[in-house]
Structure 1
Amino acid sequence: MTKMKLTVAVLLVLTTNVLFGQTKLTLYADQAETKINKEIYGHFAEHLGRCIYGGIFVGEDSEIPNTRGFRDDVTGALIDMKIPLLRWPGGCFADTYNWKDGIGPREERPSMVNVHWGGVTEDNSFGTHEFLDFCDLINAEPYINVNVGSGTVREASEWIEYVTSSNISPMTDLRKKNGREEPWDVKYWGIGNENWGCGGNMTPEYYADVYKNYATYSRGADYKIACGASDSDYNWTDVLMKKMQGKENLMQGLSLHYYTITHNWTVKGSATDFDEKEWFTTLSKTLFMDELIQKHSTIMDKYDPEKRVGLIVDEWGNWFDVEPGTNPGFLYQQNTMRDALVAGINLNIFNNHADRVKMSNIAQTINVLQSVILTKDDEMVLTPTYYVFKMYSVHQDATLIPANLKTDKYELDGQSVPAVNASASTKDGVISITLCNLNPNAGENVELSLHGSELSTSNAQIITAKNMNDFNDFGKNESVSLEEFNVPNPKSGKLTFELPAKSVVLVQLK
């Protein structure tokens, strides 16, 4: 079936018999000054399930078309999406990983058991060289997470030296022996992962001292990221920031992990079989990200008013029950229109806090949790979340436009959330506005006002679906994708258009 161009008239069919709410969005383009780092649109690829093996890497001998073992379809899709950064090798996997097992001739590499994710045996055929080669192939910045939980300071120091050093040393000699003459340019290094949990069950006081020890010997790591809090553990942030005062050269970033869990950690709910109550709860819990960032940022501001340390949201996204019949340890889940809204909301929140949030990485890139790509043998599916990242790529390295948003409430069972979530930026003379309508039943009449900019033309794109649990599946036409969307041209600094129910929309003005 040929993709149709979704016009306002067609989209209104999807929201018949409903009234449109009122949303006013005022943009102050003349006050734009904060850069939205491209790294806010980063991704996370852990050795978990079929993310690496079968998702990214199939080996040179595979019948699946590949380049040096990397799937050509996945590579092309990530380039087209404009992926800016990739975090690896974990996650919990990072704190059981010895990097030296993943270098040298593949046939000589020792195998290992992935104790965190399914207890499967891995042959270490995807290691440091393969990861950095893949990042070069997809034009993404690499972000490497070193082993603090079960590793040593020397092990981490030698990994950084192996990757980044041009000096004459045993590690550079080893790298050259393994086929890489020149060092790689790897800026971002994570010193541990979830050290409050799978990374060692440490207290913040203990981890802060361990971190300083590791960071001291992480020569060659330009941007060192400390393990930060889980969710609303504000004490962890306070302790880390307090203990690192006056040692800004040792810590450039502090991480935060927050997953949207609709029910609880035991029963998370289905990724595809849900009702409006679960839709509402998921989006409401997604909006909690804004409060988390504000409160963690306030603590960071107390110790770092100059905002030298970036807040790194390096794990986020929906976490549902695995698809029936799949390995529980592989965390494979489908991806619906609900996931598209979760992605759009989070990215708007990160944009709006770009003064402190310098990077984020959705979990995870392929076949795991809220992935942008699903694969099965030689087939590939682009998820609704993929199309949100492709749409939002216009914000990468753009300048945030301050905005004032007044919107109706989306109400259900006596609870309410704002109906619309938005962010805006400017780059190369173009203003880009991304909006999410959280209400699955009613559209919103949006009145957009511009201050400090004279623009005359517009274009737009939309991601929506007939049903809130529609998803893209193997062997079927896409139910959710990126389509053209008609909006009028601005007149006298104003633009009015209808934002359909359960939609993510990009409006660009120039």
Structure 2
Amino acid sequence: MTSFININKSEKKEVISRHIYGHFAEHLGRCVYEGIWVGEDSPIPNTRGIRNDVVEALKKLNIPNLRWPGGCFADEYHWKDGIGPRESRPSIINNNWGKVTENNHFGTHEFLDLCEQLDTEPYICGNVGSGTVQEMQEWIEYITQEGKSPMADLRRKNGRDKPWKLKYFGIGNENWGCGGKMRVEYYADLYRRYQTFVRDYTDTPIYKIACGPSEADYHWTEVMMREGVSRTEPYPDKVVTDIWEHHRPEMDGLALHFYTRNRANYDSATEFTEEKWFDYMKRTLVMEELIQKHTAIMDKYDPEKNVDLIVDEWGTWFKVERGTNPGFLYQQNTLRDALVAGINLNIFNNHCDRVHMANVAQMVNVLQAVILTEGEKMILTPTYHVFEMYKVHQDATLLPVSVSTGTYTYGEESVPMLNVSASQDDSGKVHISICNLDPNKGEKITCNLDEITGSSKASGRILTADDMTVHNTFEAPENIKPDVFNEFEVEDGKITFTIPSKSVLVIEIQ
């Protein structure tokens, strides 16, 4: 059988926001401490306490934004504990993740230093669950106020004269769960209150992200869109109405969380059969349905799409590796994770009219990490390689695709064999990213694109392996990595090739 991918350049319009390729670093397990922060006195090469090897690897991904400090940790984090001389900072208990003690040596200054080293936008999540309005307001002032003020003066006392740039700020995290177990009606009012005091101290307004739904909680989206976007005018008087409009609650983004996991039975990340391979392919494709249904609700209240959908936690969730702290969520990363990453990124690309940002969970040593560390050693995971291959889509123009393909069937269930997205960058190059979900067979593909000519040049990079459980280890760090793919036949108007089984392929046409 031959599958067909048709690309319609005449309908291109939306730009794939680079922020879809964002990352997430929570104070969880060995993500921050050991994974990013080792301290200035560490024998591991570092810059002001931040690991050089991790920074250099991450810079190659063109990371657009980094979410911090959580996650569940955010709604128990009090930012003033993490500023000032490190030896004077109070130690705290990480109640959500292992109940370990941490010394607060990685705080606001260190995080923003990391962002500057990575040349990435900081995305800070504020504390609504156990924090005060004043605490949140003062954090914004501390970070962004340039003139004289109590918090700006405190920042200068702690060694930073000029303010930082801060665009993205979250008003709480998972407030339906670890962030306070709130009803959406209650959180909606809290959001209106807290966001009012997230002041703009610069000419660049802060982009405010509200806590959104868990998975298929469509009622949460309904209420937040109704309360956060509504322009209900309480008085008929025009002057009063203008004041109301000026001060109405603002919501730039609504966060959605969805993990590819089996809640009833957390499986091994590396020891699995085809049954588990299929199960996770099927589960991750649910992301498409979630985005479509949440978007339909958002469209009802916001047809102009002024409020973005922010998928700021996504990824695989497996059983922790043997011998590790269950609260640290440390798991390995195989070719299966690479397919999950490729599928999700394709889905986000294809819905970039509403999806502005996404953050894989998490960056180092936690869940679907792109990097794993062990002491001075560091390895890149298959998920890292997918992000590196897909970075060509960042800020490129989405090209609508239609795919005619067969199915991957296991037992009595089936899913589409191929998952695809395409874009064109500013130089005119077209990139097509294709995931073959079938672990057993390849597929011949004919790709139709009206600007392909006999002189067109096609090249590609592929991530695949013979074994579906293949992963990189500290003893064998290059078990799986991208390889060159150049088995194309180019004719006027089309390009034909065969994609191997269980693979992620990115093609460039110029």
Please show how residues 138-287 of structure 1 align to structure 2 within 5 Å: 138-220=118-200, 222-244=206-228, 245-246=230-231, 250-261=250-261, 263-265=262-264, 267-287=265-285
Q: CA RMSD in A?
A: 1.1
Corresponding residue for residue 486 of structure 1 = 486
Q: Is the 8 A contact 1:46 1:93 kept in 2?
A: yes
SS at match of 2:256: strand
Q: Is the 8 A contact 2:417 2:437 kept in 1?
A: yes
1:358 CA displacement:
0.3
* Equivalenced residues, count: 488
Corresponding residue for residue 299 of structure 1 = 297
SS at match of 1:429: coil
Corresponding residue for residue 70 of structure 1 = 50
Corresponding residue for residue 235 of structure 2 = none
Q: Is the 8 A contact 2:91 2:103 kept in 1?
A: yes
Corresponding residue for residue 396 of structure 1 = 394
Q: Is the 8 A contact 1:164 1:183 kept in 2?
A: yes
Q: 2:69 aligns with which of 75, 78, 89?
A: 89
Measured in 2, the distance between the counterparts of 1:297 and 1:452 equals 32
Measured in 1, the distance between the counterparts of 2:283 and 2:27 equals 27
SS at match of 1:272: coil
Q: Is the 8 A contact 1:456 1:489 kept in 2?
A: no
Q: 1:420 aligns with which of 399, 418, 433?
A: 418
Measured in 1, the distance between the counterparts of 2:173 and 2:59 equals 27
1:298 CA displacement:
0.2
Stretches of structure 1 that go unaligned for 5 or more consecutive residues are 1-20
1:413 CA displacement:
0.4
TM-score normalised over the length of structure 1: 0.94
Higher relative contact order, structure no. (Cα contacts within 8 Å, ≥ 6 residues apart): 1
Corresponding residue for residue 324 of structure 1 = 322
Q: Is the 8 A contact 1:60 1:68 kept in 2?
A: yes
Q: Deviations over 1:127-167 (max 9, x none)?
A: 00000000110111110000000001110011011111113
Stretches of structure 2 that go unaligned for 5 or more consecutive residues are 232-244
1:179 CA displacement:
1.1
Q: Is the 8 A contact 1:370 1:385 kept in 2?
A: yes
Corresponding residue for residue 8 of structure 2 = 28
Measured in 2, the distance between the counterparts of 1:183 and 1:492 equals 55
1:367 CA displacement:
0.2
1:448 CA displacement:
0.2
TM-score normalised over the length of structure 2: 0.94
Corresponding residue for residue 15 of structure 1 = none
SS at match of 1:405: strand
Measured in 2, the distance between the counterparts of 1:355 and 1:444 equals 30
Alignment-mate amino acid for residue 70 of structure 2: G
1:451 CA displacement:
2.9
Measured in 2, the distance between the counterparts of 1:207 and 1:52 equals 29
1:484 CA displacement:
0.8
Q: Deviations over 1:27-65 (max 9, x none)?
A: 011221101000000001000000000000100100111
Residue 368 (structure 2) pairs with residue 370 (structure 1): yes
Measured in 2, the distance between the counterparts of 1:94 and 1:22 equals 49
1:477 CA displacement:
4.4
Corresponding residue for residue 100 of structure 1 = 80
1:249 CA displacement:
6.0
Measured in 1, the distance between the counterparts of 2:451 and 2:214 equals 40
Corresponding residue for residue 500 of structure 2 = 500
1:453 CA displacement:
6.3
Corresponding residue for residue 450 of structure 1 = 449
The verdict on how the C-alpha distance between 1:453 and 1:181 changes in structure 2, with shifts beyond 3 A counting, is: farther
Greater CA deviation, 283-292 or 240-249? 240-249
